[in-house]
Amino acid sequence: MASGEVKVLGTWASQFAMRPRIALNIKSVDYEFIEEKNLLEEKSQLLLQSNPVHKKVPVLFHGDNKPICESLIIVQYIDETWSSGPPILPSDPYDRATARFWAAYLDDKWYPAVKSLGIAEGEEAKKTAMAQVEEGVALMEEAFGKCSKGKGFFGGDEIGFLDIAFGSFLGWLRVVEKFNGAKLIDEAKTPGLADWAERFCSHAAVKDVMPDADKLAEFAMIVVAKIKGLGLAAQSL
Amino acid sequence: MMDLASHDWRGMNLRFMKREIYQTLDQAISPIMAVVKLLGTWLSPYSCKVIWALKLKGIPYEYIEEDLSNKSPMLLQYNPVHKKIPVLVHDGKPICESTVILRYIEETWPQNPLLPIDPYERAVALFWIKYADDKNPLIPKLYRTTGEELEQAAKECSEILGTIEEHGLIEGKKFFGGDEINMVDIAFCIVAHWLGVFEEVAGIKVFEPHKFPKLNSWAQNFKSVPVIKENLPDADKIFAVLKRRRETLLAPKSN
């Protein structure tokens, strides 16, 4: 079963690093959080050795196992390894497929649009990126209605896989709203998500790992400046 | 459902009888016949992935060929978000995205497992499946570009092959799945078969056997597996289609 020390390598600001931490909290598993200090400019030896393919956080270390990479894969590993704790993935295969479909949509289609919005130059570029981001949020509002089946989370009564996948973006979403003077999740446009967001952020498994919005906004300005300055592609985020 | 054997047929008109019989038979047969449907296209690797998974597990299905230049109302209804194939329909419920479909198939029909059971081994397998999913869209750039763009595409492709060769394949293991293929082998099918066609269309060689010996070995083994071999779209047919596409894409734009 599950034996051995658990460590998560990540950063305080990374929405991806937040995901395994939420999962471990749900399962009441103690872990050590190792902060990667200078992700953009100088990656640590530990990171380069444990994730040579992508050189990205998060990385999970569990006992004697070799490191596990990719945030949602780590979440699934945590769910399967500590199977006696509260379940993270839904039990029905079709519900699991739905959760995975939306998680893939968020990471592969929606988040790149959020990133482009962050570094977009000029009104046209901003408008295009914003439209894509808004479309995604509208789809998630609809998905919330179907997945939650009247309950408080995508996972039903309790936080599940899709809550973690989408909820981890909430901090950065608030930063995007602030910088663009826009409201993406609010009572008027997305009532389901507005309530869900509050519920998610105040959940015991989430509140200590969700970064403070102002701190994140400050950090975002530094990151965007660095990305533009270093001429890095948005992929490096 | 009516009990055909004990029903009193006397005095019933013929048309009514026929309708009742057909409806009864249809109700009996439909659950067996139309439970699994697959919307795909013959040359898509993503479509093939699902076919292989269904065949490896012995699941009967109805295949529907989609014309992507004229998408059917059924496809648009089943996949409104991406409007793409493949789509698996099981008991009337659609599942989209090939990897999501494969994981659904794995969980619904556990015979002949395509993923490791051990959570750590499974996490490693899923890592490489995700790697394949993330990189697969870059590989077709070979046949869609020319000049500097093609050089860049070739460089990216070479890096991808190098990563798999160095980090993904284990010396001595016939397949990613060990002695039998699994979902990881299936995920890398573009490298095994379609990449060769892209190279021919573009007139460029990236997958050189001496540079990527383990990967080359793996590709030959993969294509020899009976289920794969018997359900692989013909390379010449793919070539013909992609050559035309390339010509259209790269044709000088009229002013």
Task: Give CA A44 to chain center in angstroms.
Answer: 22
Q: Do B100 and A70 touch (CB under 8 A)?
A: no
Query: Kind of pairing, strands B62-65 and B36-40?
Result: parallel
Question: What gap in Å lies between CA B199 and CA A13, rounded to an integer?
Answer: 42
Which positions ≥6 away from A180 have C-beta within 8 Å?
A117, A126, A130
Residues 190-209 in B contacting A (C-alpha not used; CB under 8 Å)? none
Q: Measured between CB atoms, does B74 come within 8 Å of chain A? A: no
* Type of residue at A45: Q
The stretch A101-121 carries a mean pLDDT of 91
Which of A12-21, A49-58, A113-122, A146-155 shows the lowest mean pLDDT across its residues?
Answer: A113-122
Q: Are B160 and B135 in contact (CB under 8 A)?
A: yes
A74-97 per-position pLDDT tens digit: 999 999 999 999 999 999 999 999
Note the pLDDT of residue B160: 98
Question: What gap in Å lies between CA A110 and CA A166, rounded to an integer?
Answer: 10
Q: What confidence category does residue B129 fall into, taking pLDDT thresholds of 50, 70 and 90?
A: very high
What the block records as the tokens of A133 is: 């981001």
The stretch A158-171 carries a mean pLDDT of 97
Residue reference for tokens 């936080």: A159
Note the pLDDT of residue A1: 45
Q: What confidence category does residue B127 fall into, taking pLDDT thresholds of 50, 70 and 90?
A: very high
Which positions ≥6 away from A42 have C-beta within 8 Å?
none
Rg (chain A; Cα; Å): 18
The stretch A45-70 carries a mean pLDDT of 95
pLDDT at B17 over 50: yes
Question: What gap in Å lies between CA B24 and CA A142, rounded to an integer?
Answer: 38
What the block records as the tokens of B180 is: 């039998």
Torsion of CA A20, A91, A101, B50, to 10 degrees: 120
The stretch B138-167 carries a mean pLDDT of 97
Determine what percent of chain B is predicted with pLDDT higher than 70: 88
Residues of B in contact with A68 (CB under 8 A): 120, 123-124, 127
Of the partner residues B107, B120, B167, the one whose CB lies closest to the CB of residue A53: B167
Tally of residues, chain B: 255
Q: What confidence category does residue B124 fall into, taking pLDDT thresholds of 50, 70 and 90?
A: very high
Q: Do B103 and A94 touch (CB under 8 A)?
A: no
Residues of B in contact with A62 (CB under 8 A): 120
Q: Tell me the residue ranges of DSSP E strands in chain A.
A: 6-10, 32-35, 59-62, 68-69
Strand partners, A218: none
* Type of residue at A79: D
Q: What confidence category does residue A5 fall into, taking pLDDT thresholds of 50, 70 and 90?
A: very high
The whole-angstrom distance between A108's CA and the closest CA on chain B is 8
The stretch B62-68 carries a mean pLDDT of 96
The stretch B125-148 carries a mean pLDDT of 97
Tally of residues, chain A: 237
- Provide φ and ψ at B248, rounded to 5°: -65, -45
Query: Kind of pairing, strands B62-65 and B87-90?
Result: unpaired
Return the number of other C-beta atoms located less than 10 Å from residue A214's C-beta: 11
Q: Measured between CB atoms, does A52 come within 8 Å of chain B? A: yes
The stretch A165-193 carries a mean pLDDT of 92
The stretch B1-11 carries a mean pLDDT of 61
pLDDT at A159 over 50: yes
Q: Do A105 and B100 touch (CB under 8 A)?
A: no
What the block records as the tokens of A82 is: 């500590």
Q: Measured between CB atoms, does A232 come within 8 Å of chain B? A: no
**Residue A37 vs residue A58, higher pLDDT:** A58
pLDDT at B10 over 70: no
Q: Do B93 and A94 touch (CB under 8 A)?
A: yes
Q: Do A80 and B124 touch (CB under 8 A)?
A: no
Helix (H) or strand (E) holding A88: none
Helix (H) or strand (E) holding A33: strand A32-35
Question: What gap in Å lies between CA A172 and CA A108, rounded to an integer?
Answer: 16
Note the pLDDT of residue A9: 97
Helix axes A170-180, A123-148, angle to 10 degrees: 140
**Residue B242 vs residue B31, higher pLDDT:** B242
Q: What is the ipTM of this complex?
A: 0.92
Q: Measured between CB atoms, does B164 come within 8 Å of chain A? A: no
Helix (H, G, I), strand (E, B) or coil at A169: coil
Question: What gap in Å lies between CA A7 and CA A60, rounded to an integer?
Answer: 6
pLDDT at B12 over 80: no
Residues of B in contact with A96 (CB under 8 A): 103-104, 107
- Under 8 Å CB pairs connecting chains A and B tally to 59
Residue reference for tokens 């270093």: A230
* Type of residue at B60: P
A195-208 per-position pLDDT tens digit: 999 999 999 999 99
Return the number of other C-beta atoms located less than 10 Å from residue B195's C-beta: 23
The whole-angstrom distance between B53's CA and the closest CA on chain A is 16
* Type of residue at B191: V
What the block records as the tokens of A219 is: 């950090």
Determine what percent of chain B is predicted with pLDDT higher than 90: 82
The whole-angstrom distance between A213's CA and the closest CA on chain B is 30
Q: Give the CA distances from residue B199 to residues A227, B147, B151, B187, B238, in Å, rounded to whole numbers and listed in that order.
A: 35, 14, 12, 19, 12
User: First and final CA of chain B: distance in angstroms?
Assistant: 66
Q: What confidence category does residue B31 fall into, taking pLDDT thresholds of 50, 70 and 90?
A: very low
A15-43 per-position pLDDT tens digit: 999 999 999 999 999 999 999 988 778 89
Q: Do B101 and A97 touch (CB under 8 A)?
A: yes
Q: What confidence category does residue B11 fall into, taking pLDDT thresholds of 50, 70 and 90?
A: low
Which positions ≥6 away from B95 have C-beta within 8 Å?
A94, A97, A101, B87, B88, B89, B101, B104
